Amino acid sequence: MTPYEIRQLREDLGLSQAQMAAKLGTHYRTVGRWELGLYAPSPLGLAQLEGLRKRTKGNKGMNIDIHAHYVGSAYFDLLDKYGGQLSFEIVTDSHGERALKGRSGAPSPTRPYYDVEHRFGEMKAMDVDMQVVSLMAGPVPNVHLWEPEVGLALSRVNNDAYSELAQRHPQRFVGIAAVPLQNVDMAIAELERIAKLPGIRGVQMCSNIKGKYLDSEDFWPFYQRVQELDLPILVHPASSVLGMERMNSRVEAVILGYPMDTSLTIVRILFSGLLERFPKLRFCFTHGGGVIPYLRGRIEWRYETAPEMKASLPHPPSKYLERMSFCSAIYDDGALSYLIRRQGADRVMMGSDYPASLGVPQPVEQIQRLADVSSQDKKKVLGETAASFFKIL
């Protein structure tokens, strides 16, 4: 256990350093205010302490952030090797730190993505107990942007890092695997591998894969295997989104393009028959599903007034929409309250988009202050729904 985890465990238990030392004996050592480590700890003793912590925190529940980004240092090593293919390069910034530089803009520091000790402090400040970690669209490029062989290499390095992270800190992290969907056969092969990796609890897709949306039948063999493995799919906006050619800046793409691209892929899924063909697929869309929750009536009315749609789908789109889940990273309290009430707390999970600059700085506090959401539903959104969806025991 790291020094931070030891301190966190002690604080959760409400113990002083002296009381902690009495429980762990020679396995616990301090120098001044620093709690340095557990040396050859008794597994039974640690299990008992963890059990006590769970009972102590039982009334509060576990706060699980399902939309958090982590990138291992080995991923950046590969970007240093292959980044030139997409005009990315690893540089040294003005502080002497390794940074990722894209086609434009200032270099982006890489340390926030893999510095676990720093992340623990940030999680504590946000009152987040666990993160479900995944890749992003930018500034760190996702695996689907590259040639398939490079995408596979990046996927494997990323997924191994997630499994290692989850095994080192099983109370703090689980991982969502990346797969190179620009080549479906390679993606399925990596899916088979990650299904056996400890700590992996799902697979990620972007809202489009090089312009191909998620309803495409090219992905159906992949969906078949995902359904058989009973893995949830976490969908994040792609870096190249609907209408980007009409936008003046990357800022507009992030503000408007990301949610619109997510919305387009959801509509295409709803009307494609995909969820009829694969009735056990479980999707979660980040950023509250874009604008879909607020267009629900329009989507439903179009189905009711279009005979060709009613002829091709045995159920209205609302039936399939009820099976979709969303993360809470939508910034506005009123919009979030509506989403929880309309979709149900069993289909909404807390997300922060950490450590993105546009992330929600206090996701727990935002949910807790929603006056028109019940305490029971808040507990579901804060962690209970995620624990069930991602099978976090």
| pLDDT tens digits, one per residue of 258-295 | 888 999 999 999 999 999 999 999 999 999 999 999 99
Write down the mean pLDDT value for the chain: 86
Question: Does the pLDDT of residue 209 top 80, yes or no?
Answer: yes
96 plus 164 within the same structural domain: yes
202: containing domain: 60-389
Q: How far apart are CA 200 and CA 160, in angstroms?
A: 9
Please check whether residues 11 and 116 belong to one and the same domain. Answer: no
Q: How far apart are CA 176 and CA 340, in angstroms?
A: 24
85 lies in the same domain as 38: no
CATH, residue 180: 3.20.20.140
CB distance 45 to 27 below 8 Å: yes
34-38, 58-62, 168-172, 332-336, range with the lowest pLDDT: 34-38
Q: What's the structural domain count of the chain?
A: 2
**Whether residue 259 sits in one domain with residue 241:** yes
- Residue 67 and residue 53 in one domain: no
Average pLDDT on 40-56 reads: 49
Asked if 75 and 54 sit in the same domain, the reply is no
What's the CA gap between 236 and 290, in Å, rounded? Answer: 11
Return the sign of the alpha-carbon dihedral for residues 141, 143, 149, 152: positive
Looking at the predicted structure, is the pLDDT value of residue 312 above 70? yes
Model confidence, pTM: 0.84
Quote the pLDDT of residue 23. 64
- What span, in angstroms and rounded, lies between the C-alpha atoms of 67 and 176? 10
pLDDT at 33 over 60: no
348-388 tens-digit pLDDT: 999 999 998 889 999 999 999 999 999 999 999 999 999 99
Mean pLDDT of 168-177: 96
Q: What is the pLDDT of residues 133-166, one digit of tens each?
A: 999 887 788 899 889 999 999 999 999 999 999 9
The span from the CA of 236 to the CA of 201, in Å, is 16
Residues 207 and 315 in one domain: yes
Judgement on whether residues 360 and 226 belong to the same structural domain of the protein = yes
Closest CA relative to residue 354, chosen from 182, 126, 17: 126
Are the CB atoms for 127 and 365 separated by under 8 Å?
yes
Are residues 243 and 360 both part of a single domain? yes
Of 316, 214, 203, the residue nearest 269 (C-alpha): 214
Q: Are residues 48 and 105 in the same domain?
A: no
Residues 46 and 68 both lie in one domain: no
Instruction: Point out the least confidently predicted range of 107-121, 290-304, 334-348.
Output: 107-121
Looking at the fold, whether 265 and 340 belong to one and the same domain comes out as yes
